[in-house]
Structure 1
């Protein structure tokens, strides 16, 4: 049976249309678009944003486009080695092909918004990455103030303020309650370790820490200090209200004798190292040495008898060495990364996987070494009974093991590794 010519024509048209659809589908499927999940990133006015691209995308690279709010910032064409920077980003954006890194310098508040990076290769593939950047004002270092008690039985008050936030706490018997305050963009935390008060202000991009050693005007039975530092002893005014003579003694030897109305008598062995402030009733021994370790007594004579008003044991320790933090970068994204910390005769190390790192600790007779993690910030602290030193390493994992092994997206991270050491002496006794 022969087919009607109308049906034959219709069938031919259908096949032609189907072929056209298949061709368009083939062309569409030949362009692979991989878009990573959007992220939120935070930085500070005046700082620099570094975007490290996946180095595998350098293979058959054709073009890179960097856009902010759908407006072009930068384009780079590999074939012509042509870099074009669009207004108003002249002098502020860079592309380093050798390390495959995009840079936006001198950030301003108006840089807050949505960004997109597209990487085209000769195989007609497009790799895209979207992210949101928020540029914040820098935080101001907290101001810590201490209200000294009028007498030893009183409490002392510590206050901390930064920008529009303030907190305060009262301390009694070397116990102080931690305090916290928050606003829309800031967090202020005040807490105490021993006699050291620590106040930290932070936003989502940075933090600044201020510490204060509180002199509680009381003498403890044990005092720990460091070679080269000073010892301050604040005496209770009520205890020496009717004194005639005051003596400060080391073991059985006098260091200082003060008689009312007369000049200060200082032992030749302590000339230039000891002081007595009559207005605030404080004794000071400067430039401490290891040989200053031992028992001390403060005595007064009130014309009736000699009274011991303070007795304590001083231990002078060697200063600590700032911990050395090292980071072993993983060879591939599936590997773990290792962070090690050492100071003097102690060392600890920890392995990290999926941004999870186990805290570590090591001790010796006089030292304690602790390594812990807060987000991507590694903190290593070495301490003895007189002081502690903190070294911090802000690790930008550069894709590391925080990404899935087969992810094709670019990674955004800071090119810079910031290492800084904060030296803080914790005074056990005032």
Structure 2
């Protein structure tokens, strides 16, 4: 079982568009939001505002002012007008936009910020259903944070047979997935900022056919010997 730990801030690169960009951030981390077009502020006329949730002012420039709700939690760059949000919490999720206000209002950046917690480690259970003719099968269940998936697995692949396996690239719902890799069945639980997994080695329930046949043969031989010894003891 392992969990990837994210310990660096997410820095967004400059893009030349003003459409909303979805940004996923691990709770407690930082993120930098850049303006999405080249701008020059006309002296004594233009003022730039970073806003949260449309109506809440974060900072304005010039002069540089940080508004009460975000004091001590943001850094504004006078050079490139970027906004660094620090120690993000779930309540910081929502739309952020940069607007230049002057002779007219111009939107120069729009982001949809989603702050997510680290996913919990999942739990993988394996129920072997192997037979002599099919010695390497198991029904497995992967559980994590109020959802689960069930799959039928063998030594090379898993096929989902029930439950919910959510988690499109833009979804905020954690994704559960089950697959075979490196001789193990892996139950992976992830969102856009973290993941954790639980694994079970296939060999714990999958006996190669030649070994199973050899075990059956040895059992038959031992059974015959026991019968022979028993007959000899009773004088047959």
> Where on the TM-score scale, by shorter chain, does this alignment land: which range?
0.5 to 0.7
What is the rounded CA distance, in whole Å, between the counterparts of 1:214 and 1:274 in structure 2?
Answer: 14
1:255 aligns with 2:54: no
Cα displacement (A) at 1:373: 1.6
Please give the secondary structure, in 1, of the residue aligned with 2:28. coil
CA RMSD, Structure 1 to Structure 2 (Å): 3.6
Give yes or no for contact 1:359–1:370 (8 Å, CA) kept in 2: no
Summarize the Cα distance change of 1:399–1:291 in structure 2 as closer, same or farther, 3 Å threshold: closer
Matches within 5 A, 1:79-98: none
Q: What do residues 1-50 of structure 1 show as CA deviations (whole Å, max 9, x unaligned)? A: xxxxxxxxxxxxxxxxxxxxxxxxxxxxxxxxxxxxxxxxxxxxxxxxxx
- Aligned residue pairs total 193
The runs of 5 or more residues in structure 2 that have no matched partner are 167-171, 216-236
1:216 aligns with 2:13: yes
1:300 Cα deviation after fit = 1.9
- Are the counterparts in 2 of residues 381 and 388 from structure 1 also a CA contact under 8 Å? no
1:324 corresponds to which residue? 123
Measured at CA, do residues 277 and 246 of structure 1 come closer, stay the same or move farther in structure 2, by a change above 3 Å? same
Deviates more, 1:221-230 or 1:250-259: 221-230
TM-score by length of 2: 0.63
1:359, 1:373 within 8 Å by CA — same for their partners in 2?
no
Report the Cα offset of residue 306 of structure 1.
Answer: 3.3
Q: Which of these residues, 41, 47, 61, is aligned with residue 245 of structure 1?
A: 47
Paired with 1:378 and 1:293, the residues of 2 have a C-alpha distance of: 35
Query: With structure 1 as the length reference, what TM-score do the two structures score?
Result: 0.38
How far off is 1:298 after superposition? 0.5
Deviation at 1:389, TM superposition (A): 1.1
Q: Give the C-alpha shift of residue 234 in structure 1.
A: 1.6
Check 1:305–1:398 CA distance in 2 against 1; reply closer, same or farther (3 A cut). Answer: closer
Where does the alignment leave 5 or more consecutive residues of structure 1 unmatched?
A: 1-208, 409-430
1-side partners of 2:178 and 2:22: how far apart?
Answer: 27
**What does residue 188 of structure 2 align with?**
381
* Dislocated runs of 4+, deviation >6 Å: 211-214, 329-333
Distance 1:246 1:295, change over 3 A: same
Question: Which residue of structure 1 aligns with residue 174 of structure 2?
Answer: 367
For the pair 1:350 / 2:156, whether they are aligned, the reply is no
Counterparts of residues 182-193 of structure 1 (less than 5 Å): none
Find 2:108's aligned residue among 302, 309, 313.
Answer: 309
Q: 1:376 & 1:214 partners in 2: Cα distance?
A: 37
State how far apart, in whole Å, the 2-side matches of 1:392 and 1:307 are: 49
Shift of 1:403: 3.3
For residue 308 of structure 1, give the secondary structure of its aligned residue in structure 2. Answer: strand
Matches within 5 A, 1:24-423: 215-218=12-15, 220-225=19-24, 226-236=26-36, 238-240=38-40, 244-250=46-52, 251-259=54-62, 262=63, 264-301=64-101, 304-328=103-127, 334=135, 336-353=137-154, 355-360=155-160, 362-363=164-165, 366-384=173-191, 386-391=192-197, 393=199, 395=201, 397=203, 400-404=206-210, 405-407=212-214
- Check the 8 A contact 2:136/2:208 in 1, yes or no: no
Deviations 1:174-197 (A, max 9, x none): xxxxxxxxxxxxxxxxxxxxxxxx
- The match for 1:418 is none
Higher relative contact order (CA 8 A, sep 6+): 2
Q: CA deviation at 1:253?
A: 2.0
| CA apart distance, 1:310 | 1.5
Higher strand proportion (structure 1 or 2): 1
Instruction: Give how far 1:283 is off.
Output: 1.0
**Larger Rg over CA atoms:** 1
Q: Give the whole-Å Cα distance in 1 for the aligned partners of 2:208 and 2:151.
A: 16
Task: Judge conservation of contact 2:119–2:196 (CA < 8 Å) in 1.
Answer: no
